[in-house]
């Protein structure tokens, strides 16, 4: 069965420091992987995705993520955190072996808290 795990409920970092939000996945085929961010009272906003190609994917707001097939991971990273990055982050996967209807499987979300 497809699944996504975000092992940390909350990540705390100081402004200016690098941040990592972890995600691991389990799929039967090749994964399509996504990161979304949710700010209070807003919908899920797309940050980046991995489909194929370069394992390091760059996205919005200076975020990037590294696809690691051997570790089945897709960790979200940013070299220098901003207070405004504080939000709820969701990792999601679509198993390419399960048809093409666009259904996403989400992780439980990680709250990122960036302190000044």
Partner 1 sequence: EPEVTQTPSHQVTQMGQEVILRCVPISNHLYFYWYRQILGQKVEFLVSFYNNEISEKSEIFDDQFSVERPDGSNFTLKIRSTKLEDSAMYFCASSDTGLAGDRKFFGPGTRLTVL
Residues that bind partner 1 (CB under 8 A): 32, 34, 36, 41-46, 49, 51, 90, 92, 94, 96, 99-109
Q: Which is nearer to partner 1, 17 or 46 (CB)?
A: 46
CA distances from 56 to 1, 23, 39, 69, 101 (A): 26, 14, 25, 12, 26
Q: Please, what is the minimum distance in Å from the beta carbon of residue 38 to partner 1?
A: 8
User: Nearest 10 degrees: CA dihedral of 3, 77, 85, 57?
Assistant: -80
Q: Which is nearer to partner 1, 13 or 33 (CB)?
A: 33
């Amino acid at each position: 069965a497809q699944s996504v795990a975000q092992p940390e409920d909350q990540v705390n970092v100081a402004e200016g420091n690098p941040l990592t939000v972890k995600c691991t996945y389990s799929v039967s085929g090749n994964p399509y992987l996504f990161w979304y961010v949710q700010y209070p009272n807003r919908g899920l906003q797309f940050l980046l995705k991995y489909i194929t190609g370069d394992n390091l994917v760059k996205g919005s707001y200076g975020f990037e993520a590294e696809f690691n097939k051997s570790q089945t991971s897709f960790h979200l990273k940013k070299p220098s955190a901003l207070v405004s990055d504080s939000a709820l982050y969701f990792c999601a996967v679509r198993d390419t072996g399960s048809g093409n209807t666009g259904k996403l499987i989400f992780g439980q979300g990680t709250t990122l808290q960036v302190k000044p």
